[in-house]
Amino acid sequence: MAERRKLHLAQILPNLLTIGALCAGLTAIKWGIDGRFGLAVGFIILAAILDGLDGRIARLLKSESSIGAELDSLCDLVNFGVAPAVVLYLWAFQDVMTREGWIGALIYAVACAMRLARFNIGAREPDSDGTVFRGVPSPAGALLVLLPMLLANTFGTGKPALEPLIALWLVAVAWLMVATFETPSFKKLTFYADNVRYIVLAAVALVAALLSYPWITLLVFDLGYLALILWCIMRHLTGSPPDAANGQTDD
């Protein structure tokens, strides 16, 4: 009889975080169906946080695995493709149920799947060092596509009256995810050791802002990232890639 293989908790911890992110994404859909859209957005953000942690912890603990990579990609489709599309559709179109809104949601979710598939088949450049992305990564796409909700809740305007514009926004973000222009990646961001205290203070301030003013904090981040993407597109059109770009990765 073959000896049973033993696993340490450290080896499965990254996968547990990935599954936790999936549960958060599915719960976001549940809250969207219930009309609790603030909670729905919160759980999508939670899924993004857990998604950002699982890979880093796997590398830190040297517990990376092929099944972990595949599981992460499949969960990303639910968390950042299906969940944001469903939540935004329910928020913006549940009273009118326009075909345009559903088509926009479908295009966005399919674009997310295509982006993740491009990553899975190894569409990386041979000299990739992970300093830039091709197009907008799926977690950032999820935050961008929720921009109409963030605007409405920040300024207290309630549900929008221009549903066709939201459908077009879904399509626009879908294009950003499958496009090939370069955007900065912060995966290998480094800083000097004596600046750690400032990083910690900034993190505390960010958490405090999210807890005290969640909508406006997310909106500021969303608009800031959108401005960065527009700058990257302009650099791409003029033939000047981002200054920090030495390599490329898909997600």
- Identify the structural domains of the chain with CATH numbers, from first to last: 9-237 (1.20.120.1760)
Separation of alpha carbons 217 and 209, rounded Å = 6
Q: What's the pLDDT at 170?
A: 96
Residues 86/101, Cβ–Cβ less than 8 Å: no
Q: Residue 247 has what pLDDT? A: 46
> pLDDT in tens for each of the 251 residues of the chain?
456 666 666 677 888 999 999 999 999 999 999 999 999 999 999 999 999 888 788 778 777 777 888 888 899 999 999 999 999 999 998 777 678 899 999 999 999 999 998 877 754 444 455 567 788 999 999 999 999 999 998 887 666 667 889 999 999 999 999 998 888 877 666 666 677 778 888 889 988 988 889 999 999 999 999 999 999 999 888 876 555 444 445 46
Report DSSP letters for 68-120, one per residue. Answer: HHHHHHHHHIIIIIIHHHHHHHHHHHTTT--HHHHHHHHHHHHHHHHHHHHHH
Angle at 231 between CA 116 and CA 78, to 5 degrees: 20
- The DSSP secondary-structure symbol of 61 reads T
Quote the tokens at residue 79: 């968390």
Q: What is the DSSP letter of 2?
A: P
